[in-house]
Structure formats: structure tokens, C-alpha cells
Amino acid sequence: MEPKRIREGYLVKKGSVFNTWKPMWVVLLEDGIEFYKKKSDNSPKGMIPLKGSTLTSPCQDFGKRMFVLKITTTKQQDHFFQAAFLEERDAWVRDIKKAIKCIEGGQKFARKSTRRSIRLPETIDLGALYLSMKDPEKGIKELNLEKDKKVFNHCLTGSGVIDWLVSNKLVRNRQEGLMISASLLSEGYLQPAGDLSKNAADGIAENPFLDSPDAFYYFPDSGFFCEENSSDDDVILREEFRGVIIKQGCLLKQGHRRKNWKVRKFILREDPAYLHYYDPAGGEDPLGAVHLRGCVVTSVESSHDVKKSDEENLFEIITADEVHYYLQAATSKGRTEWIKAIQVASRTGK
């Protein structure tokens, strides 16, 4: 009997021989993790046994690389995977931890109800707290702040974070809020922005998190960016990134020239409505952008240069300038979710 598939999707994996990062189709089984060069491949490129393995998350061994997790096998071999965004990493971490625990206890993997308790447990669940902080109505409001001739977009202040924790009675006092905020920072739920907060996080200050209106932080998937006094052209270019992120993840994209398919990380923003795509293996700047205002998006049955076995879950975006983009989701549900999200953004965004 084949092991049960628990979770699957695209992650970026660090090579075990060369220091390169490449997107892989990763499958979590009850007893191990298989990774494939392509989703359509019949045989995996490698297998990581989970029995006796340990999981480290967040893994901060690679500086600017965010959302990395590390699996260390009983033979002391390290395997590094990078997710596209925070919630995706945390979902993989939860399932891998549970799979390892089930192996140790001789149990079968089974999911519990995903309903969240309204009240936080006594031992604060940082993941649940993070979601509360990002709640559009009751969470912390993101700000655009200016300091040292720079504008920090979609950010928070250190004192603002602790004010919110205290006012929502999630901590008893500011000192306790400082400890919780430092934990959020070390676990990757908050990131430092600006020299003051970065120096504190690097250990120069007594506490890695600062209760100060001059210390800036941001949510890792908020669309944060910093801009200096710049030309009008730079301001126009940056306008693309001012929209709120409403969806992100990895998709296959067909190239316009060679017609080959590559995994890309996509970030969908609304108002203004843009779909930016990136090399999932690294790089802060997008490889390209699709302006969605007035676009048409539909599912398609087939595309040129795609093998029949690989033609599932395709969809097409036709921009107002009549540029065609062919994309492929990992599942039928995923395709439907992307199409609906793009349709909403195209109607509401500039």
C-alpha cells in the first residue's frame, strides 16, 4: 500500500552539491518527502526519510532568504526548502512536524478541525497572533512613514505594535509585549525596516525589538518597500507596488519567445491591479508585470507547445493591450481561485 500524500506543491530547494536554489514539485508523504524536477515527472529526483529527522523553522542561515525551513536527517544531512510566503511555509511546517510525530508514536496521520479558537491560549500561538495582527478591520494599520529622506511604505512602528497588543489585552504590560514582539521578530512574522530596527535585530541593542516610534517593522508579505527622494519616472514605476497583496504563490508560466514553461512566483495586487512575477529561487526585483486593468482571464483546454499529459489547469490572461499570458496552476481548485482573484482585481484596480 502506497504512503498517503499529505501535502504537495512548489517549493524552492537548495542543491546538496552546488549552492544553487531551484523550484521543485515537493510531495509530503507519511514517511518522507519526495521532490521532483517537474510535477509531471513519474519518478522523484530524491527522497528524504522523516523517521528520526528534525525540522528547523524559521531557518535563518541564508541572510535575505525568507520563509526557509531545514530538515536534518539521522545521517546529519541538511535539506533546505523555501516557500513563496509565510502562511505557505507555516502550513508545510505544521504538516511535516505532525508527520514526524506520528512516525515516532506509530500513529497514522490525520487532520484535526481547522477551526480556530477565538481566545488565544495561555501559551501564545504566534501564528494565530500574526493573523489577528493582519486582520483588515481589527488588526494593526500599516503606515507610510518618512525618515532620513526615505519613505517606508506598508510598515509599522515598534511602539505601535506594542500599543496594539496592550489595547487588545493580549499582554499584561509593555514589557510582556516587548517579549512577544521579539518572538514574532525571531520567528519571521515581523521584519525590521530601517537602520535602527535592523541594528537592534542584529544584536547591537539590548533587546532585538524596540518599543519606539522611530523603529520600523513590516509584515513579510505586506508589499513593503522603501523609496528615497527620486525622479518622477521612479515614482511612476513604484506606483505598481502600492496595491494591497490579495494573492500569491507559484505557477507555471509560458515564455513569449521560446514558448518554454518555467515556475515563477506570482504576487497579485489590487488598486492598482498588477500581477508581478519573480524567479522563485531568488531576487527582489520582478522579472515582469502584467497590468490587469481591463484584462480578460479564462480557463483554456490546451496551449501550443504543451504536452497533452501536461495540459491540465491552464488559464490565459489577455491584457487591454492584447498581450496573451498562458499560466498553469497545480490543481483545478487553484486555477479557479487565481481566475476569480484576477477578475476581482481587474475590475476594482486602477
pLDDT of amino acid 234:
41
Handedness of CA 161, 163, 167, 173 (dihedral sign): positive
Cell numbers linked to 78:
541538511
User: What pLDDT was estimated at residue 259?
Assistant: 85
Structural domains counted in the chain: 3
247: CB partners within 8 A, 6+ apart: 266, 267, 268, 337, 338, 341
Please report whether residue 170 resides in a domain: yes
Tell whether pTM > 0.85: no
Task: Judge whether 102 and 30 are in contact, CB under 8 Å.
Answer: yes
CATH code of 252's domain: 2.30.29.30
Q: Which domain holds residue 182?
A: 128-226
pLDDT for res 69: 94
Q: Distance between CA 21 and CA 61 in Å, rounded?
A: 14
d(CA 184, CA 124): 11
13/92 Cα distance (integer angstroms): 14
The strand ranges marked E within the chain are 5-14, 21-29, 32-36, 46-49, 54-56, 68-72, 78-82, 143-147, 150-157, 191-193, 216-218, 225-228, 244-254, 261-270, 274-278, 288-291, 296-300, 314-318, 324-328
Last residue of a domain, one of 193, 226, 259: 226
Q: If 0-12 CB within 10 Å is exposed, 13-18 middle and 19+ buried, where does residue 338 land?
A: buried
| Residue 110 maps to a domain | no
Could you tell me if 251 and 341 lie in one domain?
yes
**What is the reported pLDDT for 117?**
29
Distance CA 45, CA 182 (A): 39
Report how far residue 307's alpha carbon sits from residue 309's, in angstroms, rounded to the nearest whole number: 5
Q: What does the pLDDT read at residue 309? A: 43
190 three-state secondary structure? coil
Q: What's residue 112's pLDDT?
A: 45
Q: Is residue 30 part of a domain?
A: yes
Same domain as 264, residue 215: no
Decide which of 182, 198, 226 is a domain's last residue.
226
pLDDT at position 146, please? 84
- Give me the DSSP letters along 127-140: HHHHHHHT-TTTSP
pLDDT of residue 110: 63
How confident is the prediction along the chain (350 residues), in pLDDT tens digits per residue?
566 888 999 999 998 777 789 999 999 999 999 999 988 888 999 999 999 999 998 888 887 788 899 999 999 999 999 998 888 888 899 899 989 999 888 877 765 433 232 233 456 788 889 989 988 889 999 988 888 778 888 889 999 999 999 999 998 899 999 999 988 887 778 888 888 888 888 766 678 899 999 999 988 777 677 765 443 444 444 677 777 888 989 999 999 888 889 999 999 988 889 999 999 987 778 899 999 998 999 988 765 555 444 568 899 999 999 999 999 998 888 999 999 999 999 987 56
Q: Check residue 239 and give its pLDDT.
A: 72
Q: Which helix (H) or strand (E) holds 141?
A: none
| 161 in any annotated domain | yes
